[in-house]
Amino acid sequence: MRFNSYFKKLFLFFAITVAALPLCAQKQYVSFSPDKKIKLIVSVTDSIRYELLYNQGQLISPSTVSLKTDFLKNKPFKISNTETKSVNQILSPVVRQKNKTIKDQYNELQLYSKEKIALIWRVYNNGIAWRWVVKDNRDYKIIKEIASFGFQNTDTSWYPLEDSFYSHNERTYKNLPLSEIGQNQLASLPALFSVKNGVKLLITESDLFNYAGMWIKGDGKGKISGVFPHYPKQKEITSDRDEKILSREDFIAKCNHPQEFPWRIIMIAPNDADLLSNQLVYQLASPSKGDFSWVQPGKVSWDWWNANNIFHVDFKAGINNDTYKYYIDFAAKYGLKYIVLDEGWSDTKDLLKTVPDINVQELCDYGKGKGVGVILWTTWLTLDQQLDKALDQFEKWGIKGIKVDFMQRDDQNMVNFYERVAKAAVQKKMLVDFHGAYKPTGMYRTYPNVITSEGVFGLENSKWDPQKRISPDHNVTLPFIRMVAGPMDYTPGAMLNAQKDSWAPIFNCPMSLGTRCHQLAMYVVFESPLEMLADSPTHYYAEPECMKFLKSVPSVWDTTIPLQAKVGEYVVIARKAANDNWYIGGMTNWTERDLNLNLSFLSSGKYNIQIWQDGINADRNAQDFKVIRSAVDNTSSLKVHLAPGGGVAAIISPEK
């Protein structure tokens, strides 16, 4: 009996010892957000896993991160030393997309290995981020990166489903449970997830340079993982705007110097409205260097969406100087900063060769006399081939910016093209609007002249989409997902508006789904420091009451305050302009609703308010609206009815 007892005790000792071995080998690091609500746990063994908690509830279960280089082979990440720091500073954006200043406060955990690789973590009050840093001067390749996110398969998503890595990233958002997101469900970023207790998590990235963009896939069990387009091996030019990738290398990127790789971001929003004020993409981006005081945001008259469909004029409308002088006159009358000459002004294969009826120098001179700048559209491929010569010529003409289109990729080659254009445009003091683009990743902080970008399923699609996807439902989803990543060139401003049963896609005379006030509200809700007026100037001239609002509303803001918000249902935002006027924009989906707007965000004193709201018949005729004027103060509340697909826009001015 004693013999058996002895061996039982010995067996138990060895069992406990063996079971404890992984725990002994594991190193665990914990970091909290400044307000202590978010807890990040990083565990290091032969692999690195992180866990994310909010108010002691698990948001992300233990999930793996790793970076494999060709010089590391399969060596595990062995920590040689660690550092921590806390930062609390104020950022002052060159271009004020949301706010004049941003509070940038976080705790940072730095993990260093002997192999000259570091893993940096930051924990904010509204999210976390991590990035890899390689401090090696040799030539090397990034073979693989693992960025995983452990959700529950019962969690849900707003998932921008894609067909392939070749994409404009113009997607609607599919409401999918995580159990339905498998290896074949590729998505671009940002993507939104709803987890325990309705907390929203948004995944995206920042500071993307000299690397490939991150996309995501699932495993059908709740795990989401980053995937990356590999470096192009063979390419073929197939048109004046397209380059086809025939094959790819077995690595993501090649590098020849120490490099900080992109931040992987998980934003945390206990309330839907919290997404509207999150600026982590900007905060995590590299700051700008040099003087960017010459960057001038503003509104723009755009020709392409309305197909130059102007009338009540004594000249033939089209791609000619008479038409664009008409745009310039319109812009000057209503205080618009720029006009765009979109596709058609030049030979698409030669930016130095204009079409016969366009004289760019004459238009620039005419615009300069009226305080209106000219922006030129180009395909990326032709611009890449003629970058120096084209920008030299544009500078001689007096061009203020370029709109670059059809990139449709974010592998390392294409990401480097973006930076090459941004840098070249800085030298010429030109703005850049990237169309056919991937999502913003903070370049608008590093290069503030990159003032906006597309990568959004925007109004232009209403010219041809019989599925009616550019709908109010979509419009009140965008602010919580795509817009959180950065400025979005949705191109609002339709003056021909229709309810669902009265709408049809008409390419040369397009209309929008939803009400007139739904469109007006976009100028407050949607963020783009280079905000377009997409419709025909002739239509705007016929709408003087709407133009009072569109003339007044700015494209940049000193203060942003979300008032009411629910993803895919409604959004109401108040924003303060530099002149101390406040603006309110509210939008609903196809559900009509009554809003009670509390004005307690106002300072003390008396104010005058003008409200553009849906008319009594807007449920039938979406162009019906009314304007109401009254006196208010910070104790006032406004009751506003929104029609199906409706909206409200308001200007609140201090009483003088």
CB crowding 168-187: b at 16 or more within 10 Å, else e: bbbbbbeebbbbebeeebbb
Got the DSSP string for 161-203?
A: EESSS--------EEEEGGG--TT-EE-S-EEEE-GGG-EEEE
**SS3 of 541, please?**
helix
Tokens of 653: 């001015």
**SS3 of 208, please?**
coil
Helix/strand/coil (H/E/C) assignment for every residue in 341-368: ECCCCEECCEEEEECCCCCHHHHHHHHH
Nearest to 535 by CA among 558, 512, 563, 517: 512
Nearest to 216 by CA among 225, 203, 207, 205: 225
460 is annotated as an active-site residue: yes
115 is annotated as an active-site residue: no
**What φ, ψ does residue 386 adopt, rounded to 5°?**
-125, 25
Tokens of 649: 């826009």
CA atoms within 13 A on the CB side of 200: 21
Q: Are 481 and 202 in contact (CB under 8 A)?
A: yes
Tokens 């707007």 label which residue? 597
Return d(Cα 622, Cα 615) in angstroms, integer: 8
Catalytic member of 207, 405, 433, 473: 405
- The radius of gyration of the chain's CA atoms, rounded to the nearest angstrom, is 27
Catalytic member of 170, 454, 460, 473: 460
> Which positions are annotated as active-site residues?
405, 460
